[in-house]
Structure 1
Amino acid sequence: MQFTKAHATGNDFVLVSDPAGVQDLDATFVTAVCDRHLGVGADGFIRAVAAHADHEARRLLSAAGLGSDDAAPVWFMDYRNADGSAAEMCGNGVRAFVHFLIAEGLAELSEGDELPVLTRAGIKTVQKVPEGYAVGMGIWSFIDPELAAERGSDSLVKVAGLADPRPGLSISMGNPHTVVALPDGRTLQRLDLHTAPTVEPTPPHGTNVEFVVPGDPLVTEGAGRVRMRVHERGVGETLSCGTGACAAAAATRVWVADDGVDTWSVEVPGGVVTVTFTPRADGAEDVTLSGPAVLVYTGTLI
């Protein structure tokens, strides 16, 4: 099996091309490939499969009200966490996925043009931009709107490196996130994310946990700034998380009541991504994630 290693702000992936949907991937195989000592090593595994050739992709298209003959995404991003579990969506992974499709000659995308991609969290639109790729992430929402509106948090988070539990705010970006605010960079640095933080109550499908420190100043020339570390479900700490960066920016806007700031720079250990919010007529907000993607090397799994 031919593969490509790629990363997007340090969030790294093994990608394989399977247009006809003939590769049978199980959790044991994915875990072995993603193992950093005994395999290639990656935060996630992505299979590029033609949507019409995959049973799950056809079901997802049908759920979106599209058939295989409609003006629908050609490519399904079959994304698996490093532990082999299927995941709904990965914002960094989508950028790496599109960069891979272009390199493989499976898609074309000129600057300013858009390419639809099918994910388990729905259809995402990717645009080529000067800094890499901008992904239309859809709307963000509270996992528990009632508690979020009442007190700005819905859970308590315990993590190694902090003596006391901290309040967290759980946000959906198509996948679940719980965001925790910290006072300064030293507190962020001393966290031990080798083990998963404890979130009580835990969202129904588990959660990724982001720890966020506001920039100083928080807003410069109309744009907000935050720093972030993240523990991802089924992976552990990663250098970046695209959907997590969106959730972190959304939570920060809630806490500071500053939804007039629509552009946020999110600094992660692997680099910087940009999150942009666009209001909709129904009161919800669309989120766009922008950042680079890099192909590292290709190889053969034997």
Structure 2
Amino acid sequence: MNATPAETSGSALRAMGGLRFSKGHGTGNDFVLVADPEGTRSFDEHQAAALCDRHQGIGADGLIRAVPSRFLPEGRELLLDTPGAEWFMDYRNADGSLSEMCGNGVRVFVHFLRTEGLIDLPDGGSLAIGTRGGVKTVVRTGNDYAVDMGPWEFIFPGEASAKAMDSLVAADGLEVPRPALSVSMGNPHTVVALAELSELAGTRLFTAPKVDPVPANGTNVEFVVPAEPLVHDGVGSVTMRVHERGVGETQSCGTGACAAAVAIRHWAGAEAPDVWRVHVPGGVVGVKFFAGPGGHEHVELSGPAVIVASGTLS
């Protein structure tokens, strides 16, 4: 007889008895965090899913292991070009699947390293972090953190440049599929613009939206309402909800906020600003566009990071 999901989860948790962990969040996007400075602790998808289970585990949108880059093949590869990226954010979604990158998660990750005494990062100091989406540079700005998320790009560049839309998205609560634009921030996103906040509130994200065509590795889907007026004092503003691949709806998504700003700015045209505020259910994050190395436009994500609890798994 096959084990039930609850039995599988319980078995996975028992196998991790004595595990020290912390719980943190960035604008409501929450994570279980584990320090592994010796590179001796790994997690499979069942263990990660059990820890992130909101009913029978600790509960989170994802699991982050803080491990020196030298202990992972992906980390060692990054160290060849960026020797300063000593720490690697080993991130799994709530369903246990590996993920390339999380913008809220990397801020919480750096805050966790600080609170654990694993790094010393003064106000204004910067730190290079290894992720499966490449090296990300994080700057401490008082109690907040700003992350150079790297360059953005269209996932379907030909369709996007020609029509400003490249796909259709169907979701429960929307009467007809809506046009969308797919953007890569190191991980995939598909952005849908809606006209009214009431329409945004009425979109039900209990199940994953259907995207056609869907990017090769799936996609996160952002539903965005531009402010009216869109720009105030040189700053653009949008409100967003997101369904994250492998997680479900979350209170915030850092890479999703960046992708939403990319899409709305693209649709707004040449006069659109480079600075944006993205309102999510868990708070507000900042997005800024700037010229990066090699002439590529980069995106900076800024916002808070909070550790709310630490403990030991019984």
TM-score range, shorter chain: over 0.9
- With over 3 angstroms needed to count, the CA separation of the structure-2 counterparts of 1:281 and 1:85, relative to structure 1, is closer
Aligned-residue offset at 1:130: 3.3
Q: Which residue of 1 aligns with 2:91?
A: 79
TM-score (structure 1 length as normaliser): 0.95
Aligned-residue offset at 1:218: 0.5
- 127-136 or 243-252, which deviates more: 127-136
1:6 is aligned to 2:24: yes
Aligned-residue offset at 1:100: 0.2
Aligned-residue offset at 1:280: 4.5
Q: Structure 1: give runs of 5+ residues left out of the alignment.
A: none
Q: Which residue of 2 aligns with 1:47?
A: 65
Residue identity matched to 1:19: P
Aligned 1:90-101 pairs, distance under 5 A: 90-101=102-113
Aligned-residue offset at 1:150: 0.8
What is the DSSP-based 3-state SS (H/G/I as helix, E as strand, rest coil) of the residue aligned with 2:46? helix
C-alpha RMSD of the superposition: 1.3
Q: Structure 2: give runs of 5+ residues left out of the alignment.
A: 1-18
Question: How far apart are the structure 1 equivalents of 2:211 and 2:295?
Answer: 29
**Partner residue of 2:206 out of 167, 188, 194:** 194
CA distances 1:11-52 after superposition (whole Å, capped 9, x unpaired): 000000001111121000000000000000000000000111
Residue identity matched to 1:216: E
**Partner residue of 2:160 out of 141, 148, 152:** 148
Aligned-residue offset at 1:131: 5.3
Residue identity matched to 1:218: L
Q: Which residue of 2 aligns with 1:128?
A: 140
Aligned 1:150-189 pairs, distance under 5 A: 150-189=162-201
Q: Which residue of 1 aligns with 2:40?
A: 22
Pairs aligned (count): 296
Residue identity matched to 1:177: H
Aligned-residue offset at 1:301: 1.6
Q: Is the 8 A contact 1:60 1:120 kept in 2?
A: no
CA distances 1:55-89 after superposition (whole Å, capped 9, x unpaired): 33223434xx35xxxx3211000000001111000
- With over 3 angstroms needed to count, the CA separation of the structure-2 counterparts of 1:225 and 1:258, relative to structure 1, is farther
What is the DSSP-based 3-state SS (H/G/I as helix, E as strand, rest coil) of the residue aligned with 1:92? helix
Question: How far apart are the structure 1 equivalents of 2:173 and 2:138?
Answer: 38
Question: How far apart are the structure 2 equivalents of 1:2 and 1:158?
Answer: 41
Q: Which residue of 1 aligns with 2:129?
A: 117
Q: Which residue of 2 aligns with 1:226?
A: 238
Residue identity matched to 1:43: D
1:276 is aligned to 2:294: no
- 51-60 or 150-159, which deviates more: 51-60
Question: How far apart are the structure 1 equivalents of 2:295 and 2:157?
Answer: 14
- 19-28 or 186-195, which deviates more: 19-28
What is the DSSP-based 3-state SS (H/G/I as helix, E as strand, rest coil) of the residue aligned with 2:128? strand
Aligned-residue offset at 1:281: 7.4
Residue identity matched to 1:87: S
- 253-262 or 83-92, which deviates more: 253-262
What is the DSSP-based 3-state SS (H/G/I as helix, E as strand, rest coil) of the residue aligned with 2:206? coil
Aligned-residue offset at 1:279: 2.9
Q: Is the 8 A contact 1:80 1:86 kept in 2?
A: yes
Q: Which residue of 2 aligns with 1:299?
A: 311
Question: How far apart are the structure 1 equivalents of 2:31 and 2:74?
Answer: 21
Question: How far apart are the structure 2 equivalents of 1:258 and 1:131?
Answer: 34
CA distances 1:265-290 after superposition (whole Å, capped 9, x unpaired): 00000000000001347553111000
Question: How far apart are the structure 1 equivalents of 2:43 and 2:293?
Answer: 42
Q: Is the 8 A contact 1:223 1:264 kept in 2?
A: yes
What is the DSSP-based 3-state SS (H/G/I as helix, E as strand, rest coil) of the residue aligned with 1:231? strand
What is the DSSP-based 3-state SS (H/G/I as helix, E as strand, rest coil) of the residue aligned with 2:119? coil
Residue identity matched to 1:124: K
Residue identity matched to 1:79: Y
**Partner residue of 2:264 out of 228, 252, 258:** 252
CA distances 1:79-125 after superposition (whole Å, capped 9, x unpaired): 00001111000000000000000000001111111011000011100
Residue identity matched to 2:91: Y
Aligned-residue offset at 1:260: 4.3
CA distances 1:203-244 after superposition (whole Å, capped 9, x unpaired): 001000000000111000000000000000000000000000
1:289 is aligned to 2:307: no
Q: Is the 8 A contact 1:275 1:287 kept in 2?
A: yes
Q: Which residue of 1 aligns with 2:5?
A: none
Question: How far apart are the structure 2 equivalents of 1:144 and 1:129?
Answer: 35
Q: Which residue of 1 aligns with 2:77?
A: 59
Residue identity matched to 2:25: H
